[in-house]
Amino acid sequence: MPTSRTSQDDPERKPPEVPPLVEGEPIEIEFTEAIAESIDDDAIEVTEFLEDDSVVMERVEVVGQIEAISTSAKPTPPVPAPPVPPPPPKQLVLIGAGHAHLQLLTWWRRRPIPGVELTLVTAFDRAAYSSMLPSTLAGMYQPDQMLIDLPKLCARCGVKLIVDRANRLDPVTRVIEFAHQPALSFDVAAINIGSVPAAEPLWQAHRILISVKPLTSFLERFSVRFRELVEQWRMAPGPELLQIVVVGAGASGVELALCLEQHKHELELPADVRIVDGSVALLAGYSPRTVRRVSKLLSLRGIDLHLGSPVIDCDDEGPSSLVLETGERIRADLVIWAAGASPPMALRGFELPKSERGFLKARRTLQTTANVPVFISGDTADIEGALVPKAGVYAVRQAPVLWKNLRRHFAGKRLHDYKPQRRFLSLLSCGDGTAILDYMGFTSHSGWAWMLKNWIDRKWMKRFRVK
């Protein structure tokens, strides 16, 4: 059996010399070749050369130099490309702080649309809750209890706020122009600026005519004129009573008249309150039982009704008066205009299809009938194939559909249809701690009806309060 040779068999044998390494020249590794020649095929013993420390060091230096050169010979890895920046966020703009849009703000806070920025455009930095306005006139609420602080609400919900009047919307260039601020581009817009009482040119032209819209500034405008009347009467009281007229015999007009009548008693102001409307019907759309109950209450409270002849003019000369279509004149020292619902003049600058009445035409999906990404809700919309009354309760019910369809539009999904409710609960404040309830033919005039209304209204406002 062959045996391995060791260094003792050949005392003259020396370790091979390691040639110096020169950068750029090929390397000849004689050390490895020497080992291969000095061993048998059946056994490899390299340890015989490692007994000398100098040999070990020389071998380590060779290996180190080889590794260094081989490493330097590797190609430099490519520099990774800088990350691609995300695309700019799409712009969703809400024009108006109506009932539907206010709800969208709170839902946005909980679940914003990815890759989208939300902006609210409104002419006022406060939004008024219409349901609480009559009771506020009667002193049952403080004015700030019916107002929503939009800067605080938008800051909490992560929404940009622009306080300015939108004068023009171009659906082709997708640009909104304002009265004072620079124009704003949008990807998707939604409009919810409500309606105004009928005969806007008339009530805009006469100082004694105070429109209930815009709601946010109504209390201030009313208070200025009301204080003037009170001061005039106290300085020179006359035999005649002051005449306060509410134009409009719908739910809003009835509530305002009842609450004003209560307010005059608290001020001990000698004044008469009456309701004037061109319609022959009181509370059109309400059940006959409710209409009879309201008529009886108005009579008991001394509120006269003058129906069937619309107001066509106002005479400011001498004792001011309203001029009716029949030619009759009704003396009026203060007039609150709450008749009907007409499109705001601002809609004239919105280049979108309009109905015969001047409101913006919308499909059942609440999208404009034009092929552009603009949605319409509340009183601003006339929906094709649906007769939706101009009432806040319908705007509240449209909000969930609007929210879903905005999300589905950005996701490229099919939009859902809005289906108007066939009936709704109505609660009319009487200003004295009672209310009139109307629902599906059932009616009640009671304190518990007021408690229910108060609970509903406070619960609604609580959603938008920011401490």
> Cα(222)–Cα(185) distance, rounded to whole angstroms?
37
Q: What is the pLDDT of residue 232?
A: 80
Give phi and psi for 388, each to the nearest 5: -100, 120
Contacts by 233-237, CB closer than 8 A, 24 or more apart: 233/269, 233/270, 237/270
3-class DSSP assignment, residue 272: strand
CATH superfamily of 90-123+164-195+343-424: FAD/NAD(P)-binding domain (3.50.50.60)
Domain boundary assignment for the chain: 1-73, 90-123+164-195+343-424, 200-337
Give phi and psi for 372, each to the nearest 5: -135, 155
Count other C-beta atoms under 10 Å from residue 359's C-beta: 21
Backbone Cα Rg of the chain: 42
Q: What is the pLDDT of residue 374?
A: 98
Q: Closest Cα to residue 271, out of 236, 233, 299?
A: 233
Q: What is the pTM of this model?
A: 0.80
Q: Give the chain's length.
A: 467
For the chain of 467 residues, list the mean pLDDT of each consecutive stretch of 10.
46 53 50 43 42 47 50 70 88 97 97 97 96 95 96 98 97 97 97 94 92 94 88 75 94 96 83 95 94 97 95 88 95 94 94 96 97 96 92 93 98 96 93 96 96 97 93
What is the CATH code of the structural domain delimited by 200-337?
3.50.50.60
Give phi and psi for 330, each to the nearest 5: -120, 120
Give phi and psi for 216, each to the nearest 5: -60, -35
| SS3 sequence of 19-87 | CCCCCCCCCCCHHHHHHHHCCCCCCCCCHHHCCCHHHHHHHHHHHHHHHHHHHHHCCCCCCCCCCCCCC
**Under 8 Å between Cβ of 427 and 436:** yes
Contacting residues for 258 by C-beta, under 8 A, at least 6 apart: 134, 297, 298, 301, 303, 428, 429, 430, 431
